[in-house]
Structure 1
């Protein structure tokens, strides 16, 4: 039997009246918890974002949100190969969060919406691709990936599976960059008032100077014993097997080609990405890159003095 027209057009007010009438038959009021309806300081379950943070060291720990009842997002899982990091993250997240030492177990969760990837960059593409294939949306720390090819495969996979991905690059999405609002500068350049080609100079004081040496590697490391709290094999993952030394891992891994690209890939996401957006170059890459630097070691990333990116129309970023 089909439904009548009246049943098909039952509105919310009629529904509420019927619910109240039905509840009166039990001689007790129908009480619906406040968090179901939402309102000030309460997010209804249908709009609550559930998340997992994979990699809870320095930057990852900053993004472990303490769970507050009725508010979003909710951190349901934290994951790290260092048991010390993991214990601190679990304590911060609080009630409702589960700790994992292997990121693959996190992807078995059906109640998580988004995966926040805060591992070293050599893991970004592999975890992100697997998460997209498993149906998760993604938020990733910079740099996007360790290599250009990894980034292209990662990007294409996210698109193929219809997932959402955002990189944590506040320079583009924030309201301020250098001496003006990022979007306003992009609009000004697009108007043609400044002419073309343009040259943009990003000074060391914009954030590169203190990163150049801090994120440089060392060439004289002596192998040391792996700490008991660290699963070093899983930390290495897809990277080449190298003897353990603390300078290769937590806090200083950016100085080694196996895992990252030094201060440029670390801060370039923040300071060069907005410039590329302002110049309208999202759809293209530089046609030439000139670098003033000493010869680089095959493993340890060294310092550099100047880089110049030139685009097909003559625009430059220095």
Structure 2
């Protein structure tokens, strides 16, 4: 596929201007002119494979076809992890354009979630998105609108709520929810989250001020990593696992692990 020569800001202008059910259905079940699925497996592509995205590789009943990352090192490692049997892309638009992909998994930093989810829905894909859904309420509303308009399925990966116990706390969730739903405790309730054992490090402030500009590593497409975020000179303390401490990209510990509990 010929890659469109489109600058980051031009791309953002176009996508932003253009730009919930919890079951994912294979494309061949929903139908589609001239489309025949090779099997009953869901086919998927994953965007963002430097961290959480690698946890999306092996789901029962799915077949991974493609991975995407703006960091070539992450991309090469992910392809190797998949046994070299998947396609690799630096530009997520190329992955979304694959007609044989049923589901797009989004595991990028949150400042990209809204645009990618909206574009995936408009391309006819179902979506499995890491939390948080988006950085802002407005972005989230755009995603909901796109999903409802296109009839696609959206799953937010707040997986703690589907477990019998919260990680690290030993707290049994389902009986507590049943108690709250019964109304015995009254309404409204005040919920205080005082700590998350085992994940404390995610709540420490990692954002640093006055970071000095550093050379961008050759393997990283930093312009594409920034995407819709305001431009800031590259510094290793701003990207990859360090991004959570910056409002431009995420919402800190509360927007990350905190939402599981709240």
TM range (shorter): 0.7 to 0.9
- Among 191, 201, 224, the alignment partner of 2:214 is 224
1:30-60 alpha-carbon deviations (Å, 9 max, x no partner): xxxxxxxxxxxxxx95420111010111111
Residue 248 of structure 1 aligns to a residue whose secondary structure is: coil
- Among 257, 265, 273, the alignment partner of 2:255 is 265
1:266-308 alpha-carbon deviations (Å, 9 max, x no partner): 1122221xxxxxxxxxxxxxxxxxxxxxxxxxxxxxxxxxxxx
Distance (Å, rounded) in 1 between the aligned partners of 2:215 and 2:137: 33
RMSD over aligned Cα atoms: 2.0
Does the alignment pair 1:86 with 2:75? yes
Divergent runs of 4+, >4 A: none
1:63-88 alpha-carbon deviations (Å, 9 max, x no partner): 2339xxxx731110000010000000
Does the alignment pair 1:193 with 2:184? yes
Q: Under a length normalisation based on structure 1, what TM-score does the superposition of the two structures give?
A: 0.66
Residue 217 of structure 1 and its aligned partner are, at CA, apart by: 0.2
- Among 212, 233, 237, the alignment partner of 2:227 is 237
Distance (Å, rounded) in 2 between the aligned partners of 1:72 and 1:208: 30
Rg larger for: 1
Report matched runs for 1:144-155 at 5 Å.
144-155=133-144
**Partners of 2:79 and 2:85 within 8 A in 1:** no
**Partners of 1:122 and 1:238 within 8 A in 2:** yes
**Partners of 1:254 and 1:261 within 8 A in 2:** yes
Unpaired segments ≥5 residues, structure 1? 1-43, 273-318
- Among 41, 45, 53, the alignment partner of 1:48 is 41
Number of corresponding residues:
224
Where does residue 167 of structure 1 map in the other structure? 156
Distance (Å, rounded) in 1 between the aligned partners of 2:89 and 2:124: 19
Task: For CA contacts below 8 A with separation 6 or more, give which structure has more relative contact order.
Answer: 2
Residue 241 of structure 2 aligns to a residue whose secondary structure is: coil
Change in Cα spacing, 1:51 to 1:179, as seen in structure 2 (3 Å) is: same
